[in-house]
């Protein structure tokens, strides 16, 4: 969870580490690229400018609201941009439908967008009063409120500990179950207030909301699935760029790239994850926790 995002201060969504993304993707004007988390098109706008009219960008996102914005934003780019509602780990059927055999580049930005954080009804930010939803795809699956209602204190403890790395996971989980109905961000915030000291409480809130969001959306399972299959869609010399915002995701990407390197299939381009410049971190607080890893298929 990203605190003090541009969106929360009334600014529009700003894509993170654009110059680094473009550098590592090394875009060919006639190449075919996949943005698996296209959202409202923050990075897509820059990729489209690089490929011109001879290339192709395929965008996928679980968030219909963001996709609608993206469609309207790039309504004149239908020949170079193809947008699809779905999860990035189910990219292969989309490529098959489009008749695309190989990609020259893949991009994942695993962070929340300002649009999502600012939604008055989806519950992504603990700073806003809303229903406790937390789904990327509002048309499918159980909400965070449903998850809490149907989970035991032990299960919630596991979620908070494993996905949020929260050391007070058990006492927070017990308080949540003791309070009964938790249906809004206000309810959850109050449960956390009653079970934690005031110092650094915002960080605790961020970790609990992050943990629930990961559980609700199956984020780690989807990333694991993607990492197991992305190589089959990449051309030799194709590049992959993944930006993550917490250690769980970054660790998964790191280990997947390392394993493929040991098999002489992938060349890692970032020995250490790239981070945003000091200037970008000052201008866009969302970028502060971003870690970018990039690699190239060599066999």
- Tell me: do 75 and 131 sit in the same domain: no
For CA atoms 261, 220, 21, 206, give the dihedral sign: negative
Residue 155 inside a domain? The answer is yes
The two three-digit tokens of residue 192, written as one number: 């956390």
Q: What are phi and psi of 43, to 5 degrees?
A: -75, -30
In this prediction the pTM is 0.91
Residue 50 inside a domain? The answer is yes
Beta bridge partners of residue 239, listed in sequence order: 105, 296
- Tell me: do 138 and 267 sit in the same domain: no
Mean pLDDT of 98-108: 97
Q: Which domain holds residue 196?
A: 120-218
| Domain-terminating residue out of 158, 183, 218 | 218
The yes-or-no verdict on residue 11 having pLDDT over 50 is no
- Average pLDDT of every residue of the chain: 92
Which SS3 state, helix, strand or coil, does residue 182 take?
coil
∠ CA 280-281-286 to the nearest 5 degrees? 105
What is the β-pairing status of strands 234-244 and 103-109? parallel
Q: How many domains does the chain have?
A: 2
Can you give the length of the chain in residues? 299
- Tell me: do 233 and 93 sit in the same domain: yes
Residue 2 inside a domain? The answer is no
Residue 1 pLDDT level (bands cut at 50, 70, 90): very low
Q: Kindly report, residue by residue over 171-205, the tens digit of the pLDDT.
A: 999 999 999 899 999 999 999 999 999 999 999 99
């Amino acid at each position: 969870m990203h605190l003090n995002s541009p969106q929360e201060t009334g600014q529009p969504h700003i894509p993170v580490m654009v110059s680094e993304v473009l550098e590592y993707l090394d875009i060919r004007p006639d190449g075919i690229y996949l943005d698996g988390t296209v959202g409202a098109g923050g990075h897509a706008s820059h990729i489209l400018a690089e490929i011109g009219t001879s290339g192709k960008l395929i965008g996928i996102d679980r968030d219909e609201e963001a996709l609608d914005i993206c469609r309207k934003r790039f309504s004149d780019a239908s020949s170079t941009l193809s947008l699809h509602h779905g999860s990035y780990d189910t990219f292969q059927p989309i490529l098959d439908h489009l008749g695309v055999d190989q990609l020259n580049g893949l991009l994942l930005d695993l962070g929340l967008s300002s649009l999502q954080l600012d939604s008055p009804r989806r519950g992504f930010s603990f700073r806003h009063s809303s229903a406790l939803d937390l789904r990327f795809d509002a048309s499918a699956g159980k909400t965070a409120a449903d998850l809490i209602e149907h989970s035991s204190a032990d299960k919630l403890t596991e979620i908070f500990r494993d996905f949020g790395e929260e050391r007070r996971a058990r006492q927070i989980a017990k308080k949540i179950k003791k309070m009964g109905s938790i249906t809004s961000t206000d309810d959850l915030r109050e449960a956390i207030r009653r079970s934690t000291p005031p110092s650094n409480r915002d960080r605790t809130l961020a970790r609990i909301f992050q943990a629930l969001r990961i559980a609700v959306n199956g984020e780690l399972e989807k990333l694991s699935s993607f990492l197991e299959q992305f190589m089959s869609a990449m051309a030799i010399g194709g590049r992959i760029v993944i930006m993550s915002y917490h250690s769980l995701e970054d660790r998964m990407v790191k280990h997947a790239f390392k394993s493929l390197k040991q098999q002489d299939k992938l060349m890692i381009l970032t020995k250490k994850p790239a981070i945003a410049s000091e200037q970008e971190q000052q201008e866009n607080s969302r970028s502060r926790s971003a870690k970018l890893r990039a690699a190239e298929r060599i066999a």
